Structure 1
Amino acid sequence: MWKPNEEFVDILLSMGISRNVAERALLNTGNSSAEIAATWIFDHPDLTLPDIPITVDEIEKLAGSVSLENMNGDTGSEVEDEELPEDYDGPYKMVFVVNMELGMGVGKIAAQVAHAALGLHRELIDKEMENSKECGPLSYWEDYDGERKIALKGENKQHLLDLMQKAKESGLLHYLVSDAGHTQVAPGSNTVLSIFGKESDVNEITGKLKLL
């Protein structure tokens, strides 16, 4: 019988996600990680409702397309290991912390997250070129980690600045968006903070924040 990975469930619960929704997301993503499950929830809000326990029918339906080992959280395999570079040290992910105090509309938030993604991506490209490595964190993220991304809620400007300081202290690349102020917010408003790094390191800083 399928069982959710309780460690992943706890992480999702800390994000403000209900247990039923957390378990359903893990079921639909092969019980592979809290990050992937959270992304699935963000991408499929209609499939997480109603907030009711998983049924036997759901488990049996997915059992045909996902191996039982993966469904129970065993995602490792010799084939997968062989496909990864010897120096691969991921997974990596990128997170976006949105300043909720500003009360931005959906379209404005989308635009600001895009600014944060592009700004941080430029930083990553520069860093990889500086290190003169054929394959580094950015390449691993793009080629092996499915470009993991997640949007989270930040309380206010000071909260974003505090998180940015923690990212600096941890050696994680980051980018803080200062808006031009053409619409909705005042010029110079800090709207979104993006952070990139190993999933475990990023989670140390943003793991308890709620999903946007």
Structure 2
Amino acid sequence: MRPETVAKIVRRMDLNNRRMAYQIYMHYCKGRIKPESCASLVVAMINSDNISSRSIWAALDIPIWAELPEHRKHPSRKKSLSKSRINLIHKMATAFSVSKVRSPRVALRNVTQCWQYLSAHGVEPMPEMSKAIVHLGVTRDIEEYNWVSTDRFRWVFDVVAKCEGQEVADEMDRAVYKWRQYLVQESDARFREANVLGTGHLI
């Protein structure tokens, strides 16, 4: 059976059985058709709790960027990517950012992989990439009432400035600053309430 025919079958499959669709793709389609022709399967795999992130990247024949030697991270000649491949990577970033089966840390690692893959090929990421990164790197912390990591925020800020412009990045910076102020004020208020004797901080 021709790979194109198998790909059509995979696309029509009930993607509730994602593991089977993945296995069929890997056996009959990988290396024979472009993975972007099965974009719906790729997104479904991201939302499947029995398919690892590493397996998803293997299906696309894309190495894990963080594991590459330095000379491969910054090739002298950058292979151009098709528009359909670029769109697929952006869809993947969005899917990882809202996936309910990936932990925030794993999701952010994979969105970062999307970013690095595009950057390594000289592609300017689109705004949806920065939105995915902001959701995982900033919004989730705020939703979960956590402090936004300074080091991570610096990176997120640079991503937003590059994808959406300095004005948008500055607006986000102000919002995070206000959030941190709020957390500090809340912490001080709780300390004052608990410190009924007014003894000050213990050393």
Q: Shorter-chain TM-score: which interval?
A: under 0.3
Bigger relative contact order, structure 1 or 2 (CA pairs below 8 A, ≥6 apart)? 1
By percentage of residues, which structure has more helix?
A: 2
TM-score by length of 2: 0.25
